[in-house]
Structure 1
Amino acid sequence: MNTKDFTETYYIYRRGSHSRKWDGEHLKFSRTDLLPLWVADMDFMPPQCIQEAICTYVKA
């Protein structure tokens, strides 16, 4: 899978979602053009097989 396909499939745009990571950089740095490179696990959807496994586990 190339970068474009991966991004279109799994990336979640988080600006404007009340995310401290994506919406809070202006509070600390007075800028909005920075890339907050931390807690990245919530920036991408998990693969479908992982989502299904979690749903199966929760329903059991």
Structure 2
Amino acid sequence: MTIDQLLNDPLTLALMRADRVDPVSLRTMLTGQARRLAEAQDMPPILLTFSDTVMPHGGIQGG
């Protein structure tokens, strides 16, 4: 399962909602961390593909 799939999984989204975790903020933080790690290792950044489009089940649509 990819990170994108995990963050769009209905069970994961339900747990994040129960823990008051904002999916968009979490994705933003993960993207920033990936960028910083890539820069620290002098590698091209890892791109996480997703959009901020909310899906009917309350998740974020990956793209």
Same fold (TM over 0.5): no
TM-score bucket (shorter structure)? under 0.3
Whichever of the two has the greater Rg, that structure is 1
TM-score normalised to the size of structure 2? 0.26
TM-score normalised to the size of structure 1? 0.27
